[in-house]
Chain A
Amino acid sequence: MTNNNLEKEKQSTSAKSSQDKPKKEKEQKQPKGIFRWWGVATFFGLIGIFGLAWFLLAPKLVANSIEQLGSEVVGAKVEVANVELSLAPLAVTLNQLQIADADQPMQNIFEASQIKMSLDPAALLWKKIVVEELNLSGAKSGSPRTSSGALEGGRRSVQAVEQMIDIKVPELSQADVEKLVSDADLITLKRVETFKQEQSRVRQEWSTALDKEAFDKRIAAIKSDYKRLSERAKENKLNLIKDRKQWKELKRRIDAEKKQISGLSGKLKADKKLLADQYEAVKKGPQDDLDRLMQNFGLGNGVDGLVDKYLGPQYTPWVNKAIEFAKSFDGGGASQTSTEEKATIAIGERVFFTDKIQMPDYLVKKLVMSGEDANWTLDGKGFDVGYLPWLTGKPAKLNLQFGGKGQASFDLDSNWQSSSKMNTQVDAKVNSWPIESMQLMATEEGNWIINSGTFTADISGQMSLQQINLNAVFAVRTPKLELPSDLSGWRKSLGEGINQQEQIDFKLTASGSLVDPKIRLESNLEKVMQNALGEQVKQKAAELKGDVKAKLTEKVGDLSSLQDYAKEFDQWKDKMNAQLKVLEQYKVKI
């Protein structure tokens, strides 16, 4: 910027200001009011524009929210064709809702042609969503998709299923038996050591108790006294009276000796039993060691143990899923705060205050469902389903009736009297529902498909926050499995075993509490599994067991010599009897 420019600027400013001066003076004479009325108009105009923009964009925003949140929960794509908003009466309609099957992305696990919700505007004023009536129509399941519904990365339960199916039978023939036995800390050797220490202690004690030299000395003293007193009595009969105290004393000494020896017979029995028990433990040692070592191959309890190890309930992903669900359930809405991000400055965590508006944040007062497919029809009704449930003031009820090729029903009655008192009853039944092409499981060789059979289920029970008592029985009668063609080994045996079953059943029992549920799953598949595994494993397991046993015997050595412990007790008993006999002889003479 040059000085010339600055001069020009100065001149132009002064010229302009001289022109504006009268105008400004005029304005100053007419002071502006405190209000800017055009500002009010602008404010309400902007509010109107924002409101209109929201109303136009809201359907898209609602659809996006449902799709994003739903996909996150389901683990597969959730799509809504379009959303309609109506202001009078206040209603939201979702058209063509599709929820993809996470396991089979080219088909939908659920589809509804329309979900119409009429909302309570008064509740919205309190930031609560109360649906007066929800109508779900055109429900379908298993409908094909034109594009994949898979989400990138898949979902966790699929990984759990793969983990269950990916059972590896241990390679028994490659086991290093020699190293296993040599490295093992054998319980037999420990028991032998303990036995020997005890035997030595017992020997020492008996050696002291039955010390022949000491006994002979005492007997010699008795004999000497007896001889002396007897001679005095022969000399003069009156000496018997004079020496009566010494005779009594001699008799007392003999009785004391006898009592001591008789007391040893109790000890003899106790010591013998102690060593006998320990000897029995030593004898059982090699078998215990064998069982322990065989556990390394999953054969601690034979083939049954192997099944428990590789197909126990802990490997059932649906049980795991149920446990995780139950554990993640927050029964009382007890959290103090929740986070919600909004606008430029973080809105931060929410602090909860007592809500005197006795209305749940989300409530569906009436729910009507209907749908049909080639194989089934659905009619369902629900009432007062809400969150937080104890604020609904009424028990939530849900009743679903399925018809078509079979019959099924689902009834749920959940009554939350308060945040800490809940009682939920579930009753669901499926009666002889025919199965066609149902996937039982997927393995790396292909899918296991049940081509025919009938499915029956009976689930009943009740749940409170303190206790669960739920029983579920699922059965597939006359299952006909189509197995992957490449199937071999125990898996093939398993498939063939299932095909021979009249019924596959699963019994699930849940007890305990919601926080710590105890879930037990029993199935006759376990027996089939045992047989399938047994074919392959039993022979190898027997060979392996023989090898381990031989190496064990080699390491432990011959234990038969330990059996001689009993002979010593016989010897001690004989000694005791001999001593008693001597004492008895003198007592009789006295």
Chain B
Amino acid sequence: MLTILAKIFKALNSEQSPNQLAIAISLAAVVGMTPLLSLHNLFIFLIVLWFRVNLTMFLVSWPLFTLLGLLLSSPIQSLGNMVLQEPSLVPMWESFYNTLIGRWSDFYYKGVMGGLILGTSIAIISFPISKALINKYRYKWLEKIQKYQVVRMLKASKLWQLYGDA
């Protein structure tokens, strides 16, 4: 827990732009909420590594969203089922199913579709929110928080040194 906290503080305090941090959280939401071995996740990993997305924030957020995905497993399945079986959408799914990308994307599994919809929704919503919160943290809360005894202790610990350059 302390490791995660240290990583988050380090990322927040880094000089990377709020966009880089916010997009990391958003992309982690999609990866965390859907089955790992899916085609879209391969694409997201490419984006994360190719573009300057904050890796620390991505790697910290990913397991947290996976945990959330496991807790919401049942609603995710229902959502996937509802969307896949919606009569007006079936022709579109059929067309997509008969393409190579569609066939390998596994979208026709309820868990993949449900997770992708929920993950993408969280990603879209979380991007401006997390960006605003990061800005607020940096310009308003940073000084206050750094004065807290817990934060000072954390910064003085070996853990902080260990992840300091992450």
Contact = CB atoms under 8 A, between A and B. Distances in A.
A159 interface: no
A347 interface: yes
Interface stretch (B3-11, B108-116, B129-137): B108-116
A344 B51 contact: no
Given A126-B103, A127-B104, A35 B34 contact: no
A1 B156 contact: yes
A342 B156 contact: no
A304 B93 CA distance: 64
Contacts of B46: 40, 43
Interface in B29-45: 33-38, 45
B108 A352 contact: yes
A560 interface: no
B66 interface: yes
A356 B33 CA distance: 30
B121 interface: no
Given A126-B100, A342-B35, A355-B97, A348 B50 contact: no
B111 A347 contact: yes
A337 B52 CA distance: 41
B52 A348 contact: no
B152 interface: yes
A293 B3 CA distance: 83
B69 interface: yes
A347 B49 contact: no
A214 to B, nearest CB: 87
Nearest to B73: A346
B50 A345 contact: no
Interface string A332-354: 00000100101111111111111
A127 to B, nearest CB: 6
Nearest to A27: B15
B10 to A, nearest CB: 14
A312 B20 CA distance: 78
B98 A36 contact: no
A39 B46 CA distance: 8
A241 interface: no
B69 A345 contact: yes
B156 A5 contact: yes
Contacts of B100: 125-126
Nearest to B152: A6
Contacts of A34: 51-52
Contacts of B15: 24
Contact of B49 (A32, A42, A340, A352): A42
Contact of A344 (B35, B80, B109): B35
A346 B33 CA distance: 10
Contacts, number: 106
Contact of A348 (B45, B93, B112, B156): B112
A36 B90 CA distance: 39
B159 interface: no
B70 A343 contact: no
A332 B104 CA distance: 25
A355 B97 CA distance: 7
Contacts of B70: 344-345
Contacts of A350: 108-110
Nearest to B94: A353
B109 A32 contact: no
Contacts of B80: 348
Determine the interface band of chain B, counting residues with CB < 8 A from chain A. 35 or more
Contacts of A342: 35, 37
A349 B109 contact: yes
B63 to A, nearest CB: 10
B77 interface: yes
A347 to B, nearest CB: 4
State the majority secondary structure of interface residues on A.
Answer: loop
B1 interface: no
A343 B37 CA distance: 6
Nearest to B32: A345
State the majority secondary structure of interface residues on B.
Answer: helix
A344 B104 CA distance: 18
B50 A35 contact: yes
A178 interface: no
A249 to B, nearest CB: 93
Contacts of A354: 94, 97-98
A340 B109 contact: yes
Nearest to A356: B98
A347 B107 CA distance: 10
A554 B157 CA distance: 104
Contacts of A43: 45-46, 49-50
Contacts of B112: 347-348
A408 B50 CA distance: 65
A356 B80 CA distance: 23
Interface string B115-143: 10000000000000000000000000000
Contact of B33 (A36, A337, A345, A351): A345
Nearest to A44: B46
Interface string A9-42: 1000000000000001000000011111001101
Most chain A Cβ neighbours within 10 Å, of B90, B98, B111: B111
Contacts of A53: none
Nearest to B80: A348
A355 B77 contact: no
A40 B36 CA distance: 20
A348 B37 contact: no
A344 B73 contact: no
Contacts of B156: 1, 5-6, 9
Interface string B41-83: 0000110111110000000000000100110010011001100
B28 interface: no
Contact of A36 (B52, B69, B115, B152): B52
Given A1-B156, A9-B155, A349-B77, A344 B66 contact: yes
26 contacts: A6-B156, A9-B155, A34-B52, A35-B52, A36-B51, A40-B49, A43-B46, A43-B49, A43-B50, A127-B104, A343-B35, A343-B37, A344-B66, A344-B69, A345-B66, A345-B69, A345-B70, A345-B73, A346-B35, A346-B111, A348-B77, A348-B109, A354-B94, A354-B98, A355-B98, A356-B98
Interface of B: 15, 33-38, 45-46, 48-52, 66, 69-70, 73, 76-77, 80-81, 84-85, 90, 93-94, 97-98, 100, 103-104, 106, 108-112, 114-115, 152-153, 155-156
